Amino acid sequence: MPSLLFLMLNLFYFLIVLVNNKFMNLFYRSKSRLYRLLIFFSILLSLIFLIDPFNSVLIINIVPFILIFFIFRDVLILFFELVLRLKKSPVLHGLASYLAFIPVLLLILSSLNQLTIRDVLVSLSLLTISGFYISRARFLSQ
């Protein structure tokens, strides 16, 4: 848990520096996404530090996983747009959502103490098969 917290704090610092950077015109298109990431990080950090998971309602325990999914998805979209120079499209958003779901699913299984090699292989194979069928259905509909 401390290493995850350290990683999150470093990413939070990187986003603050990136938003306040004087070279922000390179990231002007993604400025709203960066602000949304800052808001998600601040909400996630406040939930982690201020809420006791043993004394809270179930929905409050689910919210951090949803926030982590959106953070991963937005970071992947930023990576695709800024580093790989891909254009914004529904396929890009679908791929980012698909790739962001895998670590969140593994994190959920790990937090429930249900993460084994068999579970990792089953979840990755199900996600691979579903990704294949989604791409095939999208190809056939065009």
**pLDDT (tens digit, 9 = 90+) per residue, 13-71?**
666 666 555 445 555 666 777 788 888 888 888 888 888 888 888 888 889 999 999 99
Neighbours of 2 (CB within 10 A): 6
Neighbours of 63 (CB within 10 A): 15
Cβ pair 40, 71 in contact under 8 A: yes
Find the mean pLDDT for residues 1-5.
59
Q: Please give the pLDDT value at position 94.
A: 81
Look up the domain containing 128 and give its range: 2-141
pLDDT tens readout for residues 77-114: 888 877 777 777 777 788 888 888 888 888 888 888 87
**CA angle, residues 70, 75, 78, in degrees to nearest 5:** 125
Q: Please give the pLDDT value at position 12.
A: 66
- Please tell me the distance from the alpha carbon of residue 8 to that of residue 105, in angstroms, as a whole number: 18
Q: Please give the pLDDT value at position 57.
A: 87
Domains identified in the chain, total number? 1
Which is more confident, 12 or 72? 72
Q: Please give the pLDDT value at position 69.
A: 93
